[in-house]
C-alpha cells in the first residue's frame, strides 16, 4: 500500500520561505508523477507544482511561477517544494499527491492522482 508522509509547513510572514517534503513508500511502479495540491477555506483544491520521476518534467500553476520550486530525489521517492516570496493568498492546506501513471509532463488534474497525504497547513500572516 502506497503511503505519503508530508513534513514542513507552518506559519510564516509575507515574503518568507518554507519547504515542504513528501516521502512515498510502498511503490510498485518504476515511474510516477508526484507533487502538491492546495486547498484554501471555501475554495476548490488546485494544483500547485508537480514533477515526473521519469524525466523531471514539471507543472507549475501560474500564480506561483518563479516563487516556488519543486524538486525530487528519486532514490528516496521524495519530492520537495521550496516556497519563497510567500503571499497571504498562498495560505492553504497543502496536500502531497502521487499518480502511478507514467505521464510526462505530469497531469495537473486531481482526479488522476491515486494517493494523497494527510495535508499540511501553510499560513502566511503578519
In this predicted model, what pLDDT tens digit does every residue of 59-114 receive, in sequence order? Answer: 999 999 999 999 999 999 999 999 999 999 999 999 999 999 878 899 999 999 99
Burial of 79 (0-12, 13-18, 19+ CB in 10 A): buried
> Residue 47 above 90 pLDDT?
yes
Tell me the per-residue pLDDT of 48-58, one tens digit each, with 9 for 90 and over. Answer: 999 999 999 99
Would you state the pLDDT for residue 102?
78
Alpha-carbon span 84 to 81, nearest angstrom: 10
Grid cell listed for 80: 520537495
Place of cell 497543502: 94
Would you state the pLDDT for residue 72?
97
Q: DSSP assignment of 49-109, as one string? A: EEEETTT--EEE-GGGBTTEEEEEEGGGTEEEEEE-S--GGG-EEEEEEEE-S--SSPP--
Q: Give helix then strand counts, H and E, for the chain.
A: 0, 11
Amino acid at each position: 500500500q502506497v503511503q505519503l508522509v508530508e513534513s514542513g509547513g507552518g506559519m510564516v510572514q509575507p515574503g518568507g520561505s518554507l519547504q515542504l517534503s513528501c516521502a512515498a513508500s510502498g511503490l510498485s511502479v518504476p515511474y510516477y508523477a508526484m507533487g502538491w495540491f492546495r486547498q484554501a477555506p471555501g475554495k476548490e483544491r488546485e494544483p500547485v507544482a508537480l514533477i515526473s520521476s521519469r524525466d523531471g518534467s514539471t507543472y507549475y500553476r501560474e500564480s506561483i511561477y518563479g516563487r516556488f520550486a519543486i524538486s525530487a530525489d528519486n532514490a528516496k521517492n521524495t519530492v520537495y517544494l521550496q516556497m519563497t516570496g510567500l503571499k497571504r493568498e498562498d495560505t492553504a492546506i497543502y496536500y502531497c499527491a502521487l499518480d502511478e501513471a507514467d505521464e510526462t509532463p505530469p497531469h495537473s488534474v486531481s482526479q488522476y492522482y491515486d494517493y494523497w497525504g494527510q495535508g499540511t497547513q501553510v499560513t502566511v500572516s503578519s
